[in-house]
Structure 1
């Protein structure tokens, strides 16, 4: 569900990407490209929806944003910590928290070894309703 393996190539800095980066700073919810575009327009930033899509994808590939497919199939984005981690995401408001999942890590390692795999990876996103919803 999360973004594929991230690359470390820097994202070209543009006015539009700076506006997107500022939008995600300090937020804890995942947002779709359409939501990002709408907020930017309301703030008076002139940026096309296609540009928002390209910028979000590039920023996710560079590791600046996490990308998670929502239960309804939309790709959503959020600024997150680096490294392997998991999320618990509210289905209603999009609030997200990073969760510790050592039991999942151990299970994934056991299953991979059981079937003779090495260097196996996994992705886990949990969805529910937060206490405010």
Structure 2
């Protein structure tokens, strides 16, 4: 949990459920896993803990093409900037680097006099396993 929020059993359960889920999952997916395991956590608590994990940099959040927020535990990758290649069908996710994107973002920021620029780039496609199915 974040320094702003004390560690709780529910927070650890949210983190563990997301870490074992693989790929990006919605808050409702995490909530369903916890409820199926007998947890008494509420949906608003799941959202609150997911947001804390995002702020801590150990969970990434992206919005699907239809606008739904989804979350993925990135573990050790949470401390370095990265992007994702996500399968539209099964949610399989690859962490990817985007050196050209990083250079481009820096150049655009400098051209316009901006500092402390952040960005998000996510790629969506169909993975080899889903293409073969």
> Normalised by the shorter chain, which TM-score bucket?
0.7 to 0.9
1:59 pairs with 2:49: no
* Partner Cα separation in structure 1 for residue 117 and residue 51 of structure 2: 24
Corresponding position of 2:125: 128
Is the aligned partner of 1:24 residue 2:27?
no
Which structure ranks higher in relative contact order (CA pairs < 8 Å, sequence separation ≥ 6)?
1
- Indicate if the aligned counterparts of 2:82 and 2:96 stay in contact, CA closer than 8 A: yes
Structure 1 unaligned segments of length 5 or more: list them.
1-7
- Secondary structure of 1:110's match? helix
What is the number of residues matched between the two proteins?
126
The 1:41–1:27 alpha-carbon spacing in structure 2 relative to 1, beyond 3 Å, is closer
Is residue 2:7 matched to residue 1:13? yes
Q: Which has the higher helix share?
A: 2
CA-based RMSD of the aligned residues comes to: 1.7
- Going from structure 1 to structure 2, the CA distance change for 1:53 and 1:101 (only over 3 Å counts) comes to same
Gaps of 5+ in 2: none
Output one character per residue of 1:64-114: Cα deviation in whole Å (capped at 9) or x when no partner. Answer: 211111111111111111221111111111111110111111222222223
C-alpha distance in 2 between matches for 1:85 and 1:108: 14
Q: Does the 8 Å contact 2:19/2:72 carry over to 1?
A: no
TM-score, length-normalised on structure 2?
0.84
Q: Which of 109, 114, 124 is the matching residue for 1:112? A: 109
| Cα displacement (A) at 1:27 | 4.4
Verify the 8 A CA contact 1:28 1:97 in the aligned structure 2.
no
